[in-house]
Amino acid sequence: MAPNSTVTITEKSNNNDFTLLQVHDSNSPMFPEKQKATSPKQFTWFLLLKLHRVVTCLSWLTNGLKATFALVKKRVSLADISDEGPKSRGRLYRIIKVFLALSIGGLAIEIIAHFNKWNLHMIQPWEVQGLLQWSYMAWLSFREDYVAPLVLSVSKFCIVLFLIQSLDRLVLCLGCFWIKYKKLKPTIDADACDVEDPSNFPMVLVQIPMCNEREVYSQSIGAAAQLDWPKDRILIQVLDDSDDGNLQLLIKEEVTSWKEKGVNIVYRHRLIRTGYKAGNLKSAMACDYVKDYEFVAIFDADFQPNPDFLKLTIPHFKGKPDLGLVQARWSFVNKDENLLTRLQNINLCFHFEVEQQVNGYFLNFFGFNGTAGVWRIKALEESGGWLERTTVEDMDIAVRAHLNGWKFIFLNDVKVLCELPESYEAYKKQQHRWHSGPMQLFRLCLPAIITSKISIWKKSNLIFLFFLLRKLILPFYSFTLFCIILPLTMFIPESELPLWVICYVPIIMSFLNILPAPKSVPFLVPYLLFENTMSVTKFNAMISGLFQLGSAYEWVVTKKTGRSSESDLLALAERESKSSNEEKILRRHSESGLELLGKLKKTEVPSKKKRNRLYRKELALALLLLTASARSLLSAHGVHFYFLLFQGLSFLIMGLDLIGEQVS
């Protein structure tokens, strides 16, 4: 018998037999008195518990909204819009404002029509009441006959481009999976370097170009000075383009301290600073002693190669006279610093793991990343050397070397630490340069590509895949389709985009992008929204480079924070203290790592108050998308509404500079 069972004995009046009745539930209707006694009390407590949860949730939401609005109000009041003047906004901003005005007007009319229940197909012409209703019917007729076909044609064109680019990305991912499955990677000869005979090591030049890199110069010089290579077979050039006299002295002192420790290192400063980084490298390669060196390794100021970097890269050149470049992968010291760096890490992991690795293995060609790579100096010279004609000198030299028959190798397992931009302002400027430069280069290189002696397949790959598809078509359709056409279709339902275009395919492509960084899978949706939000910057940069507009030649050094600088100096001081008992090295009386750090801090200019920016293009697009989401809500579009709502909010976050760190 069950523990909660109840046994009842009843007596019949006709005879003396008894009936045994077993009830298995004490809450059965057989016990009405028990139910009446307990049910109201339990129900009251249940209601009180639910009410408490609702009040707590409402309080949390209220406090969250208050804090958000207070933050937005503070950001707007302290915003600096000096870099968002009419010159930087340009025609694109005016076009967005026109679409925004049309959408707001259309939303107002649609709201009136919705609440008055106007319907073109149910109202006869003689039943029209008032000028406003007649105007609405005329707009519906004009929209269906003229506007919708035009928007539908443009959207179909963008969808075709979207599918082609998605197919290219899918092929790249399949190539990466094949490399992983077969465990394919570049190999080196077993006798490439004889560690017992240092004289067999080739002569290597290491270049560190920098310009006003106060936060990171010491760690980059220190990392290069500790490269494991015979001291008489390596020379480090510190190529300083800084215009700050105090900073120049600090960098000179850093170079001198390493020179006194036996490192073969020189300091160079140009008096005429033209051509940005390309001009700096070109000037350094013009030195007479460069002819004694066979290879040159290049590291930007925030890059910290491991001591074995040269021993992992240089041997790949042995026995391969047509090999011009060995490129290593970037690894990021601050990839988990904030949401902005996490999203950048997703993008760059896909770039190196998939794009660079697949192109390097199957095509022997990819775009040089400008740093963390080793060039054969002969390849640089035969390809024309560094040119100052674009802001992407690294891609320029890579394309010219490829046209001259040189091959490239990408090493996915050799990583060099560097730093990601932590502020939206720095990242935005970096992306503008990275997307305007390729279009400048395409205009300049197209005749040379067509007339070159390489195969038709290589020419097609350069023109259609390397330049057009990945540098022009991607930002074009991403901005046009998801930021302009999609909100317009909410007001033109005859040309509405199918669900698979705005949801299924983008999510699949974003998932493929995130696979090289599996820990970032929870950021799938933010990454999709972030990429669409950045499309306005990339589209604007692409147009500037393609049509040679003024902003195409802007070259701004990406702001660094030097988060690892202090730890590196502490580690350096610890190494110095351990080796002081073994080696008697004559040092300057005030050149230890910690003292140098203190001197650096003393000479630093007092930091300005951190301010945020207002980005008007992003804010205008945010209003456009939110207006379209309101129109979508009237029509109960479902997924379209949610996509437009969250995409509009992401544009709002970017426009108010609420992502990443602020800059001084």
Both tokens assigned to 545? 């480079």
Which H/E stretch holds residue 423?
Answer: none
**Catalytic-residue membership of 396:** no
Helix locations, 369-504, DSSP H = 377-382, 393-403, 424-451, 456-460, 474-479, 486-489, 499
Parallel, antiparallel or unpaired: strands 6-11 and 18-23: antiparallel
User: What contacts 222, CB < 8 A, 6 or more positions away?
Assistant: 254, 258, 568, 569, 572
Which H/E stretch holds residue 72?
Answer: helix 32-77
Q: Dihedral of the CA atoms 465, 467, 471, 473 (nearest 10)?
A: -60
User: What contacts 579, CB < 8 A, 6 or more positions away?
Assistant: none
User: What contacts 7, CB < 8 A, 6 or more positions away?
Assistant: 1, 20, 21, 22, 23
Residue appearing with tokens 């139910």: 35
8 A C-beta contact, residue 209 and residue 298: yes
Burial class (CB in 10 A: 0-12, 13-18, 19+), 646: middle
Could you say which of 241, 300, 568, 657 is catalytic?
Answer: 241
21 bridge partner residues: 8
The CA distances from residue 570 to 327, 566, 595, in Å, are 30, 6, 10
CA 87 to chain centre: 25
367-370 long-range contacts, CB within 8 A, separation 24+:
367/394, 367/395, 367/398, 367/399, 367/466, 368/325, 368/327, 368/394, 368/395, 368/397, 368/398, 368/408, 369/327, 369/330, 369/394, 370/277, 370/298, 370/300, 370/394
8 A C-beta contact, residue 426 and residue 558: yes
Count of H-run helices and E-run strands, the chain: 23, 9
Could you say which of 394, 396, 568, 657 is catalytic?
Answer: 394
Which H/E stretch holds residue 238?
Answer: strand 234-240
**Catalytic-residue membership of 17:** no
Residue type for position 374: V
Give the HSE-up count for residue 385: Cα atoms under 13 Å, Cβ half-sphere.
Answer: 10
- What gap in Å lies between CA 95 and CA 243, rounded to an integer? 39
Q: How crowded is residue 198: how many other Cβ atoms within 10 Å of its Cβ?
A: 13
- What gap in Å lies between CA 269 and CA 251, rounded to an integer? 10
From the list 333, 306, 300, the residue with the least C-alpha distance to 564 is 333
Q: Which residues are identified as catalytic?
A: 241, 394
